Chain A
Amino acid sequence: MTQKSIWARKDLLGLEDLSREELEFILTTIDSFKEVSTRDIKKVPALRGKTVVNLFYEPSTRTRVSFEVAAKRLSADVINIVAESSSIIKGETLIDTGRNIQALKADIIVLRHSFSGAAVLLARNVDISVVNAGDGWHEHPTQALLDIFTLKEKFGRIEGLTVSIVGDIAHSRVARSNIWGLTKLGAKAIVCAPKMLIPPAIEEMGVTVTSDIEHALKNADAVNVLRMQFERDSQDAFPKQLEYFKNFGITRERLEKAKKNILVMHPGPLNRGIEIASDVADGPKSVILEQVTNGIAVRMAVLFLVAQGRKKK
C-alpha cells in the first residue's frame, strides 16, 4: 500500500459501524487487488502462512467459494467447516467453536450464520479476526461492498447515484448492508417491496420507501434485485410467486421506462421468472456476473485488511 492505512479493525462485522473514510479506503484497497485475478498466475503472497477458516452454519455455495478463492489468491491456507459435518449438531456453542478455531492458531474466521448478531457475538469472544459473511437478516457487508464497488467501476462515483433495492427487504441482510454503505457514501437508496416485506421504520435508516416498482425504477441509476426466498419462514406473511413477478419482477418492459443506462444487479442465486426476467438477467444492462468477479477482489481486500488490523493490536 502506498496510501497510509486508516484501517485499524480486526473484524468486519457490518457496514453500519464504518465511517465514510473507512468505506472509501476499502474501495481503494479493492482496486489494487482486482488486477491480481487478471494475471496468468493469480496469486500474491499477502497472507502466506495465514489460516482462514470458513465457518458456515448456513448452506451457501457462492459466498463460501468466493471467500475460498479470495483467500487462496492471497496464499492463505483455507479450511471449510460446514454445520452438518461439525460438532455444531452436538450442541457446541458458537463461542466454544470459535475458541477452538483460535486454539488451532487460525488467523481469520469467515462466519455465515442464520442468527442476526452472530458475528458480533463471535468477534467479541475471540482475539482472532472475524469477517461477517452474512448473519441472519442483519448484515452481509462483503456483498454490499461488491455491489458498491461494481457501481463505482461503472459510474466512476457513488455520490449522487440513485440505487433501488427491490425485493424482500424485511429479511434481507444484503439490503441492510447496501443501505448503510450507499447512504454513507452519498448515494440515494430506495427500497421497493410489497408492504408486508418492508420492515417498520426503515425510513429512519435514510432510505425512501415505495411499493410502486415503476416509481422505484424511474430515476434509478441501478436496481439491485434481491432473491425472493419463497421457501422461507412460514410464520411471516408472503406474497404468491406469480403475483410477485407481475407486480415487482424486473422485466424489459419496465426497464424501458427507466434511465437508458440503468444497471441491473443481483446478489444471486437467481430465481428466473420470479424476481427477474431471464432476458434482463442475461441482457446488456446486467452486471450480475461482473459482481461475482468483483466479489473475489472485495474479499481479498477485506481479508487482507482485517489481518493488518489484527497485527496493530
Chain B
Amino acid sequence: MKLLIKNGRVVDPANNIDEIRDVLVDGLKISKVAKDINEKVEKIIDATGKIVMPGIVDMHVHLREPGREDKETICTGTKAALKGGVTTVLAMPNTQPAMDCVGSVKLLKDIIKRSAVANVFIAGSITKGRLGRELVDIDKVRKEGVVAITDDGNSVDDEKIFLKALKEAKKNKVLVVCHCEDKALSKNGVVNLGIISTRLGLRGVSKEAEYKRVERDIGLAEKAYAPIHIAHVSAKESVELIAKAKKKGIKVSAETAPHYFYYSQDALSGYDTNLKVNPPLRTKDDVDALKQGLRDGTIDCIASDHAPHTENEKMVEFDRAEFGTIGLETELAVSNLELVGRGLLTWPQLVKKLCVKPAKILNIDKGMLSKGKDADIIIVSPEKEWVVDKSSILSKSKNSCFLGKKLKGMVEYTILAGKIVYKCTNSS
C-alpha cells in the first residue's frame, strides 16, 4: 500500500531537513521525501500545519510482562506508546523472571511476537536476578537479540563484577545502561534530601547517592574502554560529571526523563505518590542544569522511564508507595511544552533527543525518515493543548504524575512500518 503525507513540516534532523515536504510511503518503507509529490496512492493524509517526524525511540520503558501483567503488558504498554508517538521501546529487564538468560529472553520474544503493537527491543540484565553477584552470559543473550544490558532499579555495587560486565559488553557490542544509585547512601529515602524532606518529614535521598555512582561508573567505563549510558539523570552534579567525561573522550551517553525537567521537588508538597520517583525530583537548580544539559548536548536523549504501578500500590502512605510514573503518552507533549515552548530547544533538536540519539545509542536503524528506512512516522499538532485525563490513558496503570496538567502538542497519527496504527480521535 502506498501512503502520502502531504504538506507537513518534515522534521528529520538525521537528514538535515526542517521544511514543508511530502513523505511517500511504499509498503513498509519510506520511499521518498520531497516537495510536491504527485503520485497515485491509496491514502493521502493532509498534514498542513503539522509536524511530520520519525517515531519516537524510548530507551527506558518498563512493560512489566512477564510477571506483573496487573501493572502493564506488552500489549497495553505498546498501545500506550503508539498514542504517545513512540514507535520503538527498549523494554527494561526487571521483569519476573528477570531477562537474565536465554530462556527468559525467548519467552519475552514470544510474547512480543504475539502481542506487541510497536517495536520492542529487549534489554537484558547485567547479573542473574539483577542481584549484582553473577554475570549474565552476555554473548548468549545478545544472540537472542538483546541490544543493551542493565540491572535497572539496582546498580552493580561490586566494582570487579561491573568492570567485567563492561568488558564483556564491549566485546559483544552491547550497550551497558547504568542505574546510578548507591543504596548504601540512598537507604530508605523517598524524596530529595533537603528542605523538601525536612518540610514533609520524609527520609531524604542525597544527590551524592546518584552522582557518586555516576562518577564511579564513568571511571570504570574509562578503564574498560567501554561505552556506557547513564539512565534517568536527575542531579546537577551528574550533568557536570558527564560533561567532563565527554570532554575527556570517554564514551558516555545520558538520558533524563520529562518529569525531571517539568517538576522540581516543590511539587511534592501534597504527598502525591505519582510524584514519588527514583531518583527523586530534585531542586530548581538541578532542573535548570538538566535543561542546560539537554541544550548543550551533555544529555543526549529523553526517555520516559515509563513505570506503571497499580492504584493499590500508589493509593497508600507516601513511604509505602512504589516508585515511578508512567510517561509514554505524555513525553512528547511535556518535552514540547517545557523545552520547545520555553525556547530551550528547536523542533529539530527535540527530534534528535527523542528519536535520532536514542536510536544511535542503541545502534538500531530507527529515528530517521531516509529513503528505504522503516516507515515509522508520527504526525503531530505542535500547538494543540490537552489536559491529561485518567480516563484517556491507554496504559494499564494510570499512575501519571501529569494527571490534570495542561500539555501542548498532540500526536495525530502514528504510522508503524507504513501502516496507520494510531489516529487521534480527540477533536478539541
Interface residues of A (CB under 8 A from B): 16, 93-95, 113, 115-118, 120-121, 125, 135-139, 173, 176, 199-202, 204-205, 235
Tell me if B267 counts as interface (CB < 8 A to partner A).
Answer: no
14 more CB-based (< 8 A) A-B contacts, given A121-B315, A204-B195:
A94-B317, A113-B317, A115-B318, A116-B202, A125-B315, A136-B201, A173-B201, A176-B199, A200-B194, A201-B194, A201-B198, A202-B195, A205-B195, A205-B199
In the bound complex, how far is the Cα of B200 from the Cα of A205, in angstroms? Answer: 12
Can you offer 7 A-B residue contacts whose CB atoms are under 8 A?
A94-B317, A113-B317, A121-B315, A125-B315, A137-B201, A138-B201, A205-B199
| Given contacts A117-B271, A120-B271, A199 and B320 within 8 Å (CB-CB) | no
* Interchain residue pairs A-B with the least CB separation, the first 3: A137-B201, A138-B201, A117-B271
Tell me if B193 counts as interface (CB < 8 A to partner A).
Answer: yes
| Given contacts A200-B204, A235-B188, A118 and B317 within 8 Å (CB-CB) | yes
Interface size on B, residues (CB 8 A): 21
| Given contacts A136-B201, A205-B199, A116 and B194 within 8 Å (CB-CB) | no
In the bound complex, how far is the Cα of B200 from the Cα of A16, in angstroms? Answer: 10
Chain B residue with Cβ nearest A198: B198
Is B317 in contact with A115, judged by CB distance below 8 angstroms? yes
Q: Which of A113, A120, A176, A235 has the most CB of B within 10 A?
A: A120
B200 in complex: contacting residue of A117, A200, A202, A204, CB < 8 Å: A117
In the bound complex, how far is the Cα of B271 from the Cα of A202, in angstroms? Answer: 19
Is B270 in contact with A200, judged by CB distance below 8 angstroms? no
Tell me if B319 counts as interface (CB < 8 A to partner A).
Answer: yes
Question: Digit string of B279-317 for contact with A (CB within 8 Å is 1, else 0)?
Answer: 000000000000000000000000000000000100111
Cβ–Cβ < 8 Å partners of A115 in chain B: 317-320
Is B198 in contact with A116, judged by CB distance below 8 angstroms? no
In the bound complex, how far is the Cα of B199 from the Cα of A173, in angstroms? Answer: 10
Tell me if B197 counts as interface (CB < 8 A to partner A).
Answer: yes
Is B201 in contact with A202, judged by CB distance below 8 angstroms? no
Cβ–Cβ < 8 Å partners of B315 in chain A: 93, 95, 121, 125
Tell me if B423 counts as interface (CB < 8 A to partner A).
Answer: no
Tell me if B35 counts as interface (CB < 8 A to partner A).
Answer: no
In the bound complex, how far is the Cα of B394 from the Cα of A124, in angstroms? Answer: 25
Nearest CB of A to B55, in Å: 38
Nearest CB of A to B188, in Å: 7
| Given contacts A116-B202, A120-B270, A93 and B197 within 8 Å (CB-CB) | no
Cβ–Cβ < 8 Å partners of B319 in chain A: 115-117, 136
In the bound complex, how far is the Cα of B206 from the Cα of A209, in angstroms? Answer: 21
In the bound complex, how far is the Cα of B201 from the Cα of A139, in angstroms? Answer: 8
Chain B residue with Cβ nearest A93: B316
Q: Which of B193, B197, B198 has the most CB of A within 10 A?
A: B198
Chain B residue with Cβ nearest A16: B199
Cβ–Cβ < 8 Å partners of B320 in chain A: 115
Nearest CB of A to B226, in Å: 35
Q: Which of B198, B201, B320 has the most CB of A within 10 A?
A: B201
Tell me if B187 counts as interface (CB < 8 A to partner A).
Answer: yes
Is B193 in contact with A135, judged by CB distance below 8 angstroms? no
| Given contacts A176-B199, A201-B194, A202-B198, A121 and B187 within 8 Å (CB-CB) | no
Is A121 in contact with B271, judged by CB distance below 8 angstroms? yes
